[in-house]
Amino acid sequence: MSAEPSTDDADALLAAPLRPYLNVSPLLIAVSGGPDSTALMHRAARLGSAYPIHVATVDHGLRPESIVEARKVGLAARALGLPHHILTWEGDKPSRGIQAAARNARYGLLAECAGLIGAETVLTGHTADDQAETVLMRLFAGSGPTGLAGMRRERELAPGLRLARPFLHIRKADLVAYCDRHGLEPLRDPSNADERFARARLRRLIPDLATEGLDPERLCRLADRMARDEEALLQAARTALAAHRVPARTDVVLDGQALAALPDAILLRAVDLALSEAGGGGSQRLERLERLVFEDLRPALAAGVPIRRTLRGILVDLGEDGVLSFGRAPARRSPS
């Protein structure tokens, strides 16, 4: 029977991925009070930084006890010498898709708080277990490589602000053990076991899947491989977009015939990048993008016929000359 890791080993496990974010820039640590973010806050405070470290807790207002829990996090943060901010999600809450809406609101509030205090990085306590659940959810949803790449270790949260997940390859059990060894008392969120939510239902399946070999480690390895391949495809799409651009004063204008020679996976991503560059927002469902590219655009390019389609608020216009432009779609006329 193997010996239990020492406290020094457990501390080192958390310190190694966390150190690159310390002594680099001011930090804002998102702490819900659960074991993951509690361990993150505690370890960061113990390691210290030459720059300010702030803590923020988002009160989503979805449970009566949430404000009490946020205040408890504040007490724990201040005991570690860290300033604490409670960020409140105000206004009406949607009746459907509440978790997605709460996530969007949470990141918006964190970005706003980071801007106010001058933080350049927001840290969250996402773990390998969270990554495995995310990949599994996206697998069930029929996602492509982009979705199966899971959460990125780092991404841009707002201009000049990065979101980082230093513990993304550490198991939750290691963070729970860290809290136990240091006498920390994290909060327990009952929504994590609420089977009204898809993530909670899938979480219940993971032990059975693990017995068949699909354990969290393999799901995380799948995410790493998909992220590696996705980055290569994206880079190829960026190169193609730059090479086949037609100079224009406005809009995004491309040489459609040159794009037609691209492999499907690269063409798909090139069109997606063009839509985003043109200001396309709203839903980014893969099925809609695939329909545009493979059912409309690719056949039109092959036949040399013009088409006009709208996706994400962008007018995609393929002219008779083979020039493909992306620009804001005109506003729809209201019925008279």
Amino acid at 120: E
Q: Binding residue per annotation — 147?
A: no
* Residue 322 known to bind ligand: no
**Alpha-carbon distance values, 164 to 58, 104, 189, 199 (Å):** 17, 16, 22, 22
The amino acid at residue 61 is: G
Give the CA diameter of the chain.
78
Exposed / middle / buried, residue 283 (Cβ in 10 Å: 0-12, 13-18, 19+): exposed
Rg of the chain on CA atoms, in Å:
23
Residue 241: C-alpha distances to residues 87, 103, 291, 314 (Å):
40, 32, 20, 17
Tokens of 151: 């959460």
The answer on whether 36 is annotated among ligand-binding residues is yes
Strand pairing class (323-328; 314-318): antiparallel
Whether 37 has a binding-site annotation, put simply, is: yes
Write b or e for each residue in 76-105: b if 16 or more Cβ atoms lie within 10 A of its Cβ, otherwise e. Answer: bbeeeebebbbbebeeeeeeeeebeebeeb
Q: In angstroms, how far is CA 83 from the centroid of its own chain? A: 26
Tell me the three-class secondary structure of 14-54, residue by residue.
HHHHHHHHCCCCCEEEECCCCHHHHHHHHHHHHHCCCCCEE
- Is 276 annotated for ligand binding? no
Question: What's the half-sphere exposure (Cβ side, CA atoms, 13 Å) at 263?
Answer: 6
Instruction: Determine if residue 180 is labeled as part of a ligand binding site.
Output: no
**Would you list which residues are annotated within the binding site for ATP?**
32-37
**Would you list which residues are annotated within the binding site?**
32-37
